[in-house]
Structure 1
């Protein structure tokens, strides 16, 4: 083999394809059962490209277990419009990236160490970060409930495939779902 990428994989999309395939693999199978070759086959790239881009299976797992980039996109709105932004961004990310940016924290099958790492990173990078953005009482509890609503939306859209959620536009989903999220963000009593 010459070290070239397989046909049909552009240089700019190889990394994204690898990350999507790795997220699927680490979510659906325990870490010990995941191989670089299986990820490469799913991504349509060579295993050597994965090693070149990420170095090792462990480093690839740690990249996949990082919720920071998803959090950056999800929380990029002021509190007054954050609920709608969260729903729209989550739906867009699911549709564009062909996977949910948050659900891997729930459905990962790894051993206790891997699941613990995912849960700790989720709490640190999603829930605690959101709690710091919220004003008013019970910000940590409200952040946990908001995370639960987002996970619930992702799970619902995954479970009911094909379903109304796939036919609905992101705007329609936000019109229906965002008010509940926004109420927790603002902490209002009304």
Structure 2
């Protein structure tokens, strides 16, 4: 299922929740008798900030035009710190172009309620994390050959996994239709920035839109 990776997350302006988490406690000694947990949390927060910055830039520029310096400036860290955590630019963007970790959460729900679960993940991702688990596929045309990697990852890590969960006839078609429906929601929220969708309670949208997605996932007897 692993291929390489995917690009950007949600679209325009970085939401307040996307502010870089630049740790400080990682440079302080552990309390006597304590553990390294705070330092590990700071490292994870820093890596998350770097990944968010790289996704943001990849949504707007070709991979070849993005420098580690630009990623570092957006994340609020130094370029050497990116090298420390990710090794090099190719390794960083391999992570950014992968849907693997997102798919683990995105598809982690009971099949009978998976439509609502995935709609909720789209909404929570954009509103609270400043990232979208699947919308980055919309930016594949910007990326040339890297866009091909993005498409291949999306098919293997999201589409094929969803298809494998479905029962009954035409599972592959139904999986594509469900994801197309979810991508439409993501586009309206993140690209068109529809004010009504962005202002309504998450569970209200889940209640309205979840059944639409679920209709493609549920095998109906003929």
TM > 0.5 fold call: yes
Give the whole-Å Cα distance in 1 for the aligned partners of 2:203 and 2:119. Answer: 9
Structure 1 segment 116-131 matched on structure 2, within 5 A: 116-131=148-163
1:99 counterpart SS class: coil
Aligned to 2:83: 51
Give the whole-Å Cα distance in 2 for the aligned partners of 1:35 and 1:142. Answer: 39
CA deviation after TM superposition for structure 1 residue 99, in Å: 2.2
Deviates more, 1:129-138 or 1:99-108: 99-108
Residues 77-132 of structure 1, C-alpha deviations (whole Å, 9 max, x = no match): 11111111111122112222202221111113112x20000000000000010000
Which structure is richer in relative contact order (CA contacts within 8 A, separation 6 or more)? 2
Structure with greater helix percent: 1
| Structure 1 position 110 matched with structure 2 position 110 | no
Aligned to 2:209: 177
2:49 counterpart SS class: helix
Give the whole-Å Cα distance in 2 for the aligned partners of 1:50 and 1:83. Answer: 36
Q: What is the TM-score with the length of structure 1 in the denominator?
A: 0.91
Choose the corresponding residue for 1:27, options 41, 59, 63: 59
Give the whole-Å Cα distance in 1 for the aligned partners of 2:113 and 2:122. Answer: 14
Residues 40-96 of structure 1, C-alpha deviations (whole Å, 9 max, x = no match): 111111111111010111001110111011111111111111111111122112222
Choose the corresponding residue for 2:168, options 133, 136, 140: 136
Could you tell me which runs of 5 or more consecutive residues in structure 1 were left unpaired when the two chains were aligned. Answer: 1-6
1:161 counterpart SS class: coil
Measured on the aligned residues, the alpha-carbon RMSD in Å equals 1.7
Give the whole-Å Cα distance in 2 for the aligned partners of 1:93 and 1:8. Answer: 17
Choose the corresponding residue for 2:93, options 51, 57, 61: 61
Aligned to 1:9: 22
Aligned residues: 183
Moved beyond 2 Å, runs of 4+: 159-162, 187-190
